């Protein structure tokens, strides 16, 4: 009997893994980086641990739904691009029908979870994030304009509003500044990745900025958004009455990130950048450190 059961069990876990990968767990992890620090800042202390866990669970469902819909819609181009060819729909591990049903199921579950367990405002914001990512970014902008990732960043910034609403049941000016920080971080984070996979985006006919503009132009745009991003991180200091820890981190880390952006631009002026992913990975590190400082700052006073 063990011989016959083993293949069934293997198929079950393979299918389970495929559904998990359909949610783009690395993207979810990045989105949730902002949630807990936002909740701590909103509380000006450590919120109830159950509330944190419940918000993270709902946020993971919401982001997973949006990402699953994205994979469903982009299944055709995922097969073309090297960095996405191993996604479950591209490999055939899941059918489009399975992905579609799954995306709907966890999306509805996320809304119901937020509404019943946390509050209606967080549920509505969660729903807005899914709808924006699916209809505005994936269906409306991604294949039509090089400004796709700029406005698509609004969906990625929603965890800041959701986390704040989960604690306070409102969206304050501070929450909008946190939203702005992530929104302005997105272009200088994603465009270096687009530079690295330029040929793949060309093959898929996705007009990312590096596809339609010269490297120097892309580098210049990265600099502009990096400076705007730095300004937004400093804006949080007076708006949220941030203390010494956050202020020092925002200034020092912001200068480093801006310098890295200029380094990429200077290279792009004379040749194709050899390692644009250095800024891509650096942007993830920067956002993580920044939000870690946002979490620590309200907990420690001098």
Given this model, what pLDDT does residue 302 score? 59
Give pLDDT, residue 28.
82
* Segments making up each domain of the chain, as ranges: 172-302
| Residues in the chain with pLDDT values less than 70 | 1-4, 6, 301-302
- Contacts of 142 by beta carbon, 8 Å cutoff, 6+ apart: 74, 148, 152, 206
For residues 76 and 86, the answer to whether their CB atoms sit within 8 Å is no
pLDDT tens per residue, range 56-79 = 999 999 999 999 999 999 999 999
Cα-flanking dihedrals φ and ψ of residue 49, to 5°? -65, -30
Give me the pLDDT at residue 71, please. Answer: 95
Please give the pLDDT value at position 1. 44
What's the whole-number average pLDDT of the chain?
Answer: 93
What confidence score (pLDDT) does residue 14 get? 87
Concatenate the DSSP letters of all residues of 4-53 into one string.
Answer: HHHHHHHHHHHHHHHHHHHT-HHHHHHHHTTHHHHHHHHHTSPPPHHHHH
CA distance 267 to 67: 33
> What are residue 151's phi and psi, to 5 degrees?
-80, -25
User: What is the per-residue pLDDT across 115-139, written as a single tens digit (0 to 9) for each?
Assistant: 999 999 999 999 999 999 999 999 9
List Cβ neighbours of 296 (8 Å cut-off, separation of 6 or more).
Answer: 245, 246
Report the pLDDT value the prediction gives residue 9, as an integer from 0 to 100: 80
Q: How far apart are CA 168 and CA 63, in angstroms?
A: 21
DSSP codes joined into one string, 81-110: STTTTTSHHHHTSS-HHHHHHHHHHHHHHH
How far is the CA of 88 from the CAs of 40, 85, 95, 98, in angstroms?
36, 8, 8, 11
In this structure, which topology does domain 172-302 adopt according to CATH?
1.20.120
* Nearest-angstrom CA–CA distance, 247 and 277: 27
């Amino acid at each position: 009997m063990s011989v016959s059961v083993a293949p069934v069990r293997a198929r079950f876990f393979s299918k389970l893994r495929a559904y998990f990968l359909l949610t783009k767990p690395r993207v979810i992890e990045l989105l949730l980086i902002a949630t807990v620090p936002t909740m701590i800042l909103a509380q000006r202390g450590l919120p109830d641990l159950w509330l944190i866990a419940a918000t993270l669970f709902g946020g993971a469902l919401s982001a997973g739904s949006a990402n699953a819909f994205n994979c469903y819609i982009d299944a055709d181009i995922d097969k073309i691009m090297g960095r996405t060819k191993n996604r479950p729909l591209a490999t055939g591990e899941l059918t489009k029908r399975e992905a579609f049903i799954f995306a709907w199921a966890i999306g509805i579950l996320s809304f119901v979870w937020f509404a019943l367990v946390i509050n209606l405002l967080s549920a509505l914001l969660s729903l807005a994030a899914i709808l924006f990512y699916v209809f505005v970014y994936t269906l409306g902008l991604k294949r039509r304009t090089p400004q796709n990732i700029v406005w698509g960043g609004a969906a990625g910034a929603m965890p800041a509003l959701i986390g704040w609403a989960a604690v306070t049941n409102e969206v304050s000016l501070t929450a909008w500044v946190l939203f702005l920080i992530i929104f302005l971080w997105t272009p200088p984070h994603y465009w270096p990745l687009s530079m690295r996979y330029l040929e793949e985006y060309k093959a898929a006919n996705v007009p990312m900025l590096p596809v339609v503009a010269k490297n120097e132009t892309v580098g210049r745009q990265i600099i502009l958004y990096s400076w705007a991003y730095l300004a937004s991180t400093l804006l949080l200091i007076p708006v949220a009455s941030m203390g010494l820890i956050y202020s020092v981190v925002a200034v020092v880390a912001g200068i480093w990130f801006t310098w890295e952006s200029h380094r990429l631009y200077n290279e792009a002026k004379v040749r194709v950048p050899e390692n644009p992913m250095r800024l891509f990975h650096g942007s993830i590190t920067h956002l993580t450190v920044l939000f870690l400082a946002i979490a620590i700052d309200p907990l420690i006073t001098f």
